[in-house]
Amino acid sequence: MSALTNAKKRLTSLDVFRGMAIAGMILVNTPGSWSHVYPPLLHAEWNGFTPTDLVFPAFLFIAGVAMAFSLAKFVRDGKPTAKVYWRIGRRCALLFALGLLLNGLSTLLGLHPNLRILGVLQRISLAYFFAAVAVLNLNKRNLWILCAAILLFYWGTMALIPVPNFGAGDLSPEGNFAAYLDRLVVGTQFLYKQRQFDPEGLFSTLPSIVTVLAGYFTGDRLRQSAIASRTSMDLILFGLCSLVLGHLWGIFFPVNKQLWTSSYVLVAAGWSLLLLAACYELIEVRKIRRWSFPFEVMGLNAIFVFVASGIVVRFLYYFKVGTAEEPPSAYSWLYQTFFAPWAGDINGSLLFALVNVGLWWLFLYGMHRKGWFLKL
């Protein structure tokens, strides 16, 4: 298949990988009990990398891959059309607003004491916006330079700029420069649970732009390459190189999801490349697709199911069941009544999350059958 034909073809593997990411996001966010979770389904406590730490950056990465296909339609004679900036701005504003909606609902229901400004959707919004603007205005060479500059700048500021009462190079939750800057700019009262550190903070969003751009480079390669196993091998080689570089950098700047360190960007991009290569080889090259349909269903309505599942979970935490002096939330009651008694604490907690993913899949399958695909 020619590069031109390939550029116009929608790659199912992109939707499947996005669906895997959103299914993983729901799975790790909704255990029956946070006291009973298998370690791989938890984020690293601080430094380190678990499978759960791949979920969020994989979603950003695939947004970048899709960007390579979507933005190409709005470039004429090497220059972006005016319409594309409106579309990008509108999409990112809606994503940010949906994130504020979820946070506002938590505050309204009394689940959190104050409105949190930042969050998952807000980070997606900001990272996608700045990555898209960069893609539309810089050539590929300068994009690579920008990525290197961002990662080195982030490392330098975190390592060299002193934080009052902590000094320079302190990477603890309270003492790192990103947390300090967030407290100054955003305000502690608007950070995650009013703590001294927000895992989706403003300054740590900067290296997440590179996560999106890593996806863009990958998508641009796919857009211009023939659908063949050699393309899959290219992704694998790039992925392995990224993993090696990330872990080597991690010796000096630890791999840390909550700080979104430069080494973490490379490690997460490496694993994302390997998983995408597997999806691409199986689905596009070898046409082995039966296994992928459930993920494709979720990937086609990813933002919708993220927001909808977040709203439902918040209401389940809000409503109480029973007449006890301190009745459990509906969320805890469901777990304690239907899962833990016969499956055990930890298996019941996992089963609760799996059932949650399954129920949302059924809902999305109904939307898929009716041709309802909600996009921003």
Partners of 329 in the beta sheet?
320
Q: What are 2-21's pLDDT values in tens digits?
A: 333 344 457 999 999 999 99
- Within the chain, residue ranges assigned H as helices are 3-8, 12-29, 55-70, 82-108, 120-137, 140-160, 177-185, 206-224, 229-250, 262-279, 293-299, 302-318, 330-338, 340-343, 345-370
Instruction: Return d(Cα 172, Cα 178) in angstroms, integer.
Output: 10
- pLDDT above 50 (res 1): no
Rounded (10°) angle between helices 330-338 and 345-370: 110
Asked if residues 89 and 126 have their Cβ atoms less than 8 Å apart, the reply is no
Instruction: Return d(Cα 120, Cα 127) in angstroms, integer.
Output: 11
What pLDDT does 374 receive? Answer: 87
What pLDDT does 136 receive? Answer: 93
Label the pairing between strands 79-80 and 75-76: antiparallel
Domain ranges of the chain: 1-42+290-376, 53-287
Asked if residues 20 and 282 have their Cβ atoms less than 8 Å apart, the reply is no
Q: What are 190-234's pLDDT values in tens digits?
A: 998 878 899 999 999 999 999 999 999 999 999 999 999 999 999
Amino acid at 333: W
CA Rg value for the chain? 21
Neighbour-count burial of 34, counting CB atoms closer than 10 A to its CB (0-12 exposed, 13-18 middle, 19+ buried)? exposed
Q: What are 82-124's pLDDT values in tens digits?
A: 788 999 999 999 999 999 999 999 999 998 888 999 999 999 9
Cα separations (Å) of 375 from 95, 108, 306?
Answer: 11, 27, 12
